Structure 1
Amino acid sequence: MDLHLPDLKFMRKKLGLTQQELAKQAAVSQSLIAKIESSKIDPTYSHVQKIAEALNRLNKKQELKASQIMQTKIIAARPDDKIALVIEKMKKYGISQMPVIDNNTAVGTISETALLHGLLQHKGEQVKELMEEAPPIVAGQTGITLITNLLQFSSMVLVAEKGKLTGVITKSDVLNNLKGF
């Protein structure tokens, strides 16, 4: 988180903190926070650094976690599933992609795009012939910032705890949880 001093008050309030609470976390005085927010002083670099570090720490604590936004019902395909079955599953559940799982291990993904491409190219009748790379897997405590970064390169992120898949997160899940921002 970059600290832009005119936004300090907004960031503090977004975290639900009083000036006193932020000051305590940053090891600075409450009056310093008040003066910075009212643009009455130009703080030293070391004070700005302390405040920025405190805001980063507090922001990470309050950041949504994978376990809070994941879908716990994982609708998946198996490598040997027929393409027709996968298309029916996608229609039934209103989804556009799903992980391909073999023995509780993610081995790939299958998406509408891969299906269309495969069907047009007559590549095969089973998922394993059309599937794409396996999605990234994160722990339940992974923050939404990292998940959002991963979703720029993957259509979904799987969540696992102690080697067992526990959920799936798509771009839609992230957007649904950010609508209040």
Structure 2
Amino acid sequence: MTRSFASMLDYANHLSLTFLSTLCRCLNRACIIIDPDRDVNLDGSASNPWRLCTVDQVESLKALLRVIPIWTTGIMMHINLNQNSFATLQANTMDRNILNFELPAGSLNVFLVLTLTIWLTFYDRIQLPLLARFTGRPRGGLSPKARTGIGLLVPVAARAMTAVVETIRRKTAIEE
């Protein structure tokens, strides 16, 4: 099948070259033509797409593999943050009276959401512009990877602090 010269130029104008990255170089073999007669059709497409991939497909797989560690820690964080029953059990044992009103134990999670909303507003509107002015870089000078790491570290520290508080609370309850 022969293409016209105009259609080939039009195809070439919309083509963006993607180069293979050096990360996970073992995957680069998937887009190397070993035997042109066997691997490539006359029109330039792969005769067996399972044996020969495009550079874009290989780079997409590499991008997916780079995200897997963040996803796995995200799964652990999801498990961590969905243990709301522990906070409710803790709230059952504390004095929840404010003036003449007793707060229900299950409603204390509302304060978690309110605190998170206030913190995110403060972070986005006040802290990040201050960091950007101080570092001279947009968005506070922190890379997305650093922000993700901090975002994963803070809840872990919060759970550790919860464990310390619960240990102290239990010791105090046993002594009384």
TM-score, with normalisation over the residues of structure 2? 0.27
Normalized per residue, the structure richer in strand is 1
Question: Which structure has more helix as a fraction of its residues?
Answer: 2
Higher relative contact order, structure no. (Cα contacts within 8 Å, ≥ 6 residues apart): 1
Greater C-alpha Rg: 2
Q: Normalising by structure 1, what TM-score?
A: 0.27
